[in-house]
Amino acid sequence: MKLIFATNNQHKVAELQSLLAHQLKIITLKQAGIDIDIPEPHQTIKENAAEKALTIYRLTKTSCFGEDTGLEVRALNNEPGVKSARYAGEEKSFQKNIDKLLTNLLHFENRQAQFRTVICLVLDDKTHFFEGICKGKIIEEQRGAKGFGYDSVFVPEGSEKTFAEMDITEKNIFSHRAKAVMGLVAFLNNIKQNTQY
């Protein structure tokens, strides 16, 4: 089965391709000949995931999925949340976002946080949602050079490493995105037995 992945984030594409190599063919926006910046206008991760998937579905009439991810920090009332990519401004600078996060956490002892991913699949004009959560904590200084976003300051429960210190295979053991993808795959495998897909 082939699905268009409604994202321009090549880091996310690489993560999903590592998870789905033998189960699903992902078509990137570039491969589909689509060059647009998909809006993220909503106040929830779920709504933004749906916006991405439905935008591409309307353009292509092809089955597709979109995802949105937010970092939710307990001491900051679950900020940056839905604004994670633009926490420090519209330029979506990973480093500026991290700097703002660490500054805002300076006087807090509680550094518990979680990543939340929601995937929206559009299949035959119907939407389906899958969620993945990874709990952990925000450390005081960046560690590691892999990954993207907030990976260098997030340590998942069950590990001493930040996501940025892990390769993709190790990160996928803990990853919020991997958990959401597994829900997507289970759903597709289930319907594949009873349809032409």
Reply yes or no on whether 35 is catalytic: no
CA distance 181 to 158: 20
Q: What is the Cα 4 distance to its own chain's centre?
A: 15
Q: Please name every residue paired with 156 in a beta bridge, in sequence order, or none if there are none.
A: 136
Catalytic residue among 68, 99, 124, 167: 68
Q: Which of 24, 41, 72, 5 is nearest to 187 (CA)?
A: 24
CA 52 – CA 57 distance, rounded (Å): 9
Catalytic site positions: 68
